[in-house]
Structure 1
C-alpha cells in the first residue's frame, strides 16, 4: 500500500508495475491502464484527486451518458464515452491503492455501478439498433421475416448480452465468496466488451445497420466467457 506522499513521486512505469494485475484483460493492459494511470498520477500530484467512490460515480455517469447517446442516435459519441467510462473505471482503484483508501465498501459500490452502467450502455446500443439499425435495402431480400422480425432479433440479442454480462460478474463474485478463487478470464472481460462498444459506435457512424452485428458479437463473447467460467468450476474438486 502506497501513501499519498509517496504516490506523488511515482513515475508512470513504477505505478504501472504496482497497479496492473496479471489477470487484467488485454485492452486494460495495453490501452486503458496507460491512460488511466497517467490521469490518476496527475490528479494525485496536483492534489485534486476525488475519493475512490467519487471516481466510481464519475465513471458511472460517463457510462450512463454513453447509453443515452446511443439511444438518441449519436453512435460516435456513445462509443467514445463507453471507452472513456472503461478508462475511468480503472482510476478509482488506482486512487484507492495509491492513497491507502482501499475499502470493501468502495469495491461493492464500484461493482454495482459498473453493472448498472453496462446495462445502460448495452440497452442504448440496442435502442439505436431498433430505431436506426435496420438492414440496408440490398440485405433485406436475404433476411426473411421467419422466424422473427429484425426487431425481435435485436431484443433477443439484448437479452443475451445483458444476461451474459451479469452472469460473468455473478460467477466471479460467487467464486471468490464460496470457493476463494478468481476464475481465469478468457475474452469477455469488461474492458474488451466496452472496447467493442466503442468500435460499434465508430462503425455505426457510417453503417448504422452494423449495430446489430456488434450486438451479436457482444452476445457471443459474453456467453463464451460464461462457458469458460463454468468449465473452470467443473474442474474444482470440492
Structure 2
C-alpha cells in the first residue's frame, strides 16, 4: 500500500516538476553530472550552517539541495545522456550528502552541549539513523545487482529527506525525535528488504 502511494506520488512529481525542471536546466546548459555535483555542494553548505547552530537556514539550504537533486536523472533521460557512470555518481553523492549532513548534526550536538545523558542519546540515535540508512541504500543496490526489486519499506531516501528537513525547520527540540523515527523505521525497512531478498533467492533455487 505504502509503495503504491509512493509510486503514484512519484509519477505526479515526475510529470509536473522533474520534467519541466529538466527542460529548464537543459536550456540553461547544465549537464546531469553538473547537477549532481552542484546539489552535493549545496548540501555541504547546509551542513556548515547546521554545524554553526543555524538549523533553520540549514534546513532551507538542505531542501534546496535535495530539490535540485531531483533533476539529474530526468535531465539525463531528456538529453539521452543516461550512463552507468552517471548512475554511480548520483548514488555516491547521495550517500556522501547524507554523511556530510549527519556530520553537521554531530557538530551541532557538540556545540549546543546539552546534559551528558541527552548528548549520549542524541549521538546514539544519530549514528544508528545514519548507519541503518546507508544499509537500506546498500540493500537496494545489492538487490538490483541480483535482479531483485527491493525499493519498498517505510523509510527510503525521500522520507529521510522530508523528516530531516522538517526537524531542521522546526528547530532543536524535535531533532532528537526525528533521528529516533529515522533510526527505528530504517531498521524496519532494512529488515523487510532482507526478508524480500531472502525469499527471492530461496524461491529461485
- Which residue in the other structure is 2:159 paired with? 192
Distance 2:56 2:180 in 1: 19
| Cα distance, 1:51–1:230 mapped onto 2, change above 3 Å | same
Count of residues in Structure 1 that have an aligned counterpart in Structure 2: 200
How big is the shift at 1:34? 4.2
TM-score, normalised with respect to structure 2: 0.86
RMSD, aligned α-carbons: 2.5
Question: Counterpart in 1 of 2:42?
Answer: 62
The answer to whether the aligner puts 1:39 opposite 2:21 as a matched pair is yes
Shift, 1:26, TM fit: 7.5
Secondary structure of 2:78 counterpart: helix
| C-alpha separation in 2, matches of 1:196 and 1:33 | 24
Pick closer, same or farther for the CA change 1:107–1:72 going to 2, 3 Å.
Answer: same
Where in structure 2 are the equivalents of 1:1-238 lying within 5 Å? 34-44=16-26, 47-132=27-112, 134=114, 149-177=117-145, 179-204=146-171, 208-236=172-200, 237=203, 238=205
Maintained 8 Å contact 1:154/1:212: yes
Q: Deviations over 1:83-124 (max 9, x none)?
A: 222221121101100010000011111111110001111222
In structure 1, runs of 5+ residues without a counterpart are 1-21, 136-144
Give secondary structure in 1 for the equivalent of 2:153: coil
Deviation at 1:128, TM superposition (A): 2.3
Q: Stretches of 4+ moved more than 6 A in 1?
A: none
1:92 is paired with a residue whose SS is: helix
Counterpart-to-counterpart distance in 1, 2:59 and 2:17 = 17
Quote the Cα distance in structure 2 between the aligned partners of 1:33 and 1:116: 28
More helix by share: 2
Specify whether residues 116 and 175 from structure 1 end up closer, same or farther in structure 2 by C-alpha distance, changes over 3 A only: same
Whether the aligned pair in 1 keeps the contact of 2:113 and 2:119 (CA below 8 Å) is no
Q: TM-score, normalised by structure 1?
A: 0.75
Tell me the residue number matched to 1:9.
none
User: Do 1:188 and 1:222's aligned partners in 2 also have CA atoms closer than 8 Å?
Assistant: yes
Paired with 1:125 and 1:31, the residues of 2 have a C-alpha distance of 29
5+ residue gaps, structure 2: none
**Partners in 1 of 2:30 and 2:196 — Cα distance?**
38
Give the drift of 1:188: 1.1
Provide the residue aligned with 1:17 in structure 2.
Answer: none
**Secondary structure of the residue that 1:209 maps to in structure 2?**
helix
